[in-house]
């Protein structure tokens, strides 16, 4: 008997937990009606004497009306509850289908990432005509990719402040910043929110460079917005649409080698209108390999690797260098150098003993890859002033903060002039 009652209770509990609110109302009405029926037929049911007295004093017509009302209420609630339950079942089925589709897409994405991580996808021979890479001696504009396959190394901070320092120099340089991280950290750090929202209405974000199959006059002006308080710098904004287009173009190329996606940036940016308008074009990359990152590298003259001096950051530099070497002849960009940020200084303004040893270890690590004298001697010291406090305003807008980045900027220009 105990097992039967326990099983019955468990069944009721499962039904109650799995029911939506409408079915729970039906269950409560059913229980209430059952208790009313029992109270009318069985004597001395505690708590229902008031209902028996009321029902016995009522005439036959009132009794019929009450029973009919209860029956109608129960039937209405039952129909509504069953409809809601059916609808919930349909929605659950759709959610399960979406989850299954998501799992299939994730599996495809994982396979694609494996192919990309082994470099095979981006090493493919080109099956279509490639837009020309205009030699550096035929233009004064220099293209630079800021890349490190690890996040949190100060890449975006260095990119934004490098552009600000170049633009505020004497004479000022004209800089185009291109944010190719769909999180839009650089965009948020350099551009006013109202301008970002204004571009949203026209979908005028950087992913348009991947979407346009041919060069489109006026596209550059459509995408460029001014950097806050830096008169000669423009910014291409990145948002989540870039992640979608990166994946789509990479997937198409994975399936169809003739769907060439690697030279879209070169198609739009290696043009006279860019050469006439800007001295530097700088790409701020995410810490992973995407279609946009490959496009930036295939469009650039130089690669600059920001890093910190902790073990994880230093170990990420060889991974980035290995990836650059594998691209080989497809990638014209050469390593300009490795820039170290967030260096702890002692009272004499020199790196602490710990950071000095880490710097030497980083330098030796880079030299083992065949890159001699590629670690910048100048570095960005640890300082709360290095990061802009206000939205859209970088630290180097203030001349006092600009001094934190000035030595790195001078070495950047000097190395590029060699």
Q: Are residues 60 and 182 in the same domain?
A: no
Based on the fold, state whether residues 65 and 168 are members of the same structural domain: no
Q: Say if 300 falls within a structural domain.
A: yes
Distance, CA of 378 to CA of 395 (rounded, Å): 18
Beta bridge partners of 302: 144, 334
pTM listed for this prediction: 0.73
Q: Which of 105, 126, 147 is the last residue of a domain?
A: 105
Query: Where a domain ends, among 83, 105, 127?
Result: 105
pLDDT, one tens digit per residue, over 364-408 is 999 998 999 999 999 999 998 888 767 788 999 999 999 999 999
Residue 192 domain-assigned (yes or no): yes
Looking at residue 125, what is its pLDDT? Answer: 87
CATH number at residue 145: 3.40.50.300
Q: Are residues 36 and 143 in the same domain?
A: no
Same domain, 197 and 315: yes
Q: How far apart are CA 324 and CA 366, in angstroms?
A: 13
Residues 286, 372 within the same domain: yes
Rounded distance, CA 134 to CA 88, Å?
60
Asked if residue 125 is part of any domain, the answer here is no
For residue 196, tell me if it sits in a domain.
Answer: yes
Is 284 within 8 Å of 156 (Cβ atoms)? yes
| Residue 302 and residue 246 share a domain | yes
Residues 319 and 359 in one domain: yes
Parallel/antiparallel/unpaired status of strands 302-307 and 334-343: parallel
Q: Report whether 326 contacts 319 (CB < 8 A).
A: no
Please tell me whether residues 262 and 372 are part of one structural domain. yes
Note the pLDDT tens digit of each residue in 25-69. Answer: 666 666 666 666 655 555 555 555 555 565 566 666 665 666 666
Q: Which structural domain, as residue segments, surrounds residue 194?
A: 137-417
Whose CA is closest to 294, among 264, 336, 338, 335? 264
Contact 227, 190 (CB under 8 A): yes
Among 417, 187, 152, 169, which residue's Cα sits nearest to residue 302? 417
Average pLDDT over residues 187-200: 93
Q: Are residues 209 and 146 in the same domain?
A: yes
For residue 395, being part of any structural domain is answered with: yes
The answer for residues whose C-beta is within 8 angstroms of residue 413's C-beta and 6 or more apart is 166
Residues 56, 204 within the same domain = no
C-alpha of 415 from chain center: 32
Q: Are residues 55 and 161 in the same domain?
A: no
Confidence at residue 107, expressed as pLDDT on a 0 to 100 scale: 62
Shared domain for 373 and 229, answered yes or no, is: yes
Residue 121 located in a structural domain = no
Give percent of the chain above pLDDT 70: 75
Kindly report the number of other CB atoms within 10 A of residue 9's CB atom.
Answer: 10
Domain stop point among 89, 105, 121: 105
Sign of CA dihedral 380, 385, 389, 393: negative
- Pick from 21-30, 87-96, 403-412: least confident: 21-30
- The alpha-helical segments, DSSP class H, found in 171-290 are 185-190, 193-200, 208-211, 219-223, 240-255, 264-269, 272-277
State residue 51's pLDDT score. 57
**Is 187 a member of any domain?**
yes
In a domain, 118, yes or no: no
Exposed / middle / buried, residue 13 (Cβ in 10 Å: 0-12, 13-18, 19+): exposed
Beta bridge partners, 343, equal 381
In this structure, are residues 339 and 306 in contact, taking their beta carbons and an 8 Å threshold? yes
Task: Kindly report the number of other CB atoms within 10 A of residue 174's CB atom.
Answer: 17
Structure tokens at 178: 């291109």
Is the N-terminal amide bond of 171 cis, ω within 30° of 0? yes
The reported pLDDT for the residue numbered 385 is 85
Number of structural domains in the chain? 2
**Alpha carbon distance, N-terminus to C-terminus of the chain:** 93
Q: Please state, in angstroms and rounded to a whole number, the distance separating the CA atoms of residues 182 and 200.
A: 14
């Amino acid at each position: 008997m105990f097992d039967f009652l326990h099983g019955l209770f468990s069944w009721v509990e499962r039904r109650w937990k799995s029911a939506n609110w409408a079915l729970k109302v039906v269950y409560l009405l059913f229980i209430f009606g059952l208790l009313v029926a029992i109270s009318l037929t069985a004597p001395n049911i505690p708590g229902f004497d008031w209902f028996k007295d009321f029902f016995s004093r009522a005439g036959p017509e009132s009794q019929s009306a009450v029973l009919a009302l209860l029956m109608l209420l129960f039937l209405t609630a039952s129909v509504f509850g069953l409809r809601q339950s059916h609808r919930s079942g349909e929605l659950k089925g759709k959610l399960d289908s979406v989850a299954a589709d998501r799992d299939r897409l994730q599996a495809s994405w994982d396979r694609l990432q494996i192919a990309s991580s082994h470099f095979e996808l981006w090493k493919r021979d080109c099956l279509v005509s490639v837009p020309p890479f205009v030699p550096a001696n035929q233009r004064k504009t220099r293209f630079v990719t800021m890349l490190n396959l690890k996040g949190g190394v100060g890449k975006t901070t260095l990119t934004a402040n490098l552009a600000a320092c170049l633009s505020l120099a004497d004479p000022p340089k004209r800089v185009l910043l291109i944010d190719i991280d769909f999180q839009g950290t650089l965009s948020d750090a350099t551009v006013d929110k109202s301008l970002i929202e204004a571009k949203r209405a026209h979908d005028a974000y950087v992913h348009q460079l991947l979407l346009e199959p041919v060069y489109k006059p006026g596209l550059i002006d459509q995408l460029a917005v001014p950097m806050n308080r830096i008169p000669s710098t423009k910014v291409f904004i990145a948002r989540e649409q870039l992640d979608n287009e990166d994946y789509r173009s990479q997937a198409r190329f994975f399936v169809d080698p003739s769907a060439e996606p690697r030279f879209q940036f070169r198609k739009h940016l290696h043009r006279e209108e860019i050469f006439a308008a800007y001295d530097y074009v700088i790409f701020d990359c995410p810490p992973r390999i995407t279609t946009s990152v490959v496009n930036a590298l295939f469009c650039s003259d130089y690669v600059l690797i920001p890093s910190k001096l902790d073990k994880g950051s230093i170990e990420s530099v060889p991974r980035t260098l290995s990836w650059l070497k594998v691209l080989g002849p497809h990638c014209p960009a050469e390593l300009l150098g490795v820039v170290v940020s967030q260096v702890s200084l002692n009272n004499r303004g020199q790196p602490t003993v710990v950071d000095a040893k880490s710097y030497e270890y980083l330098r030796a690590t880079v030299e083992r890859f065949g890159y001699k004298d590629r670690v910048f001697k100048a570095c960005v010291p640890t300082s709360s002033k290095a990061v802009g406090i206000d939205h859209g305003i970088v630290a180097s807008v203030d001349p006092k903060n600009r001094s934190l980045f000035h030595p790195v900027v001078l070495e950047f220009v000097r190395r590029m002039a060699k």
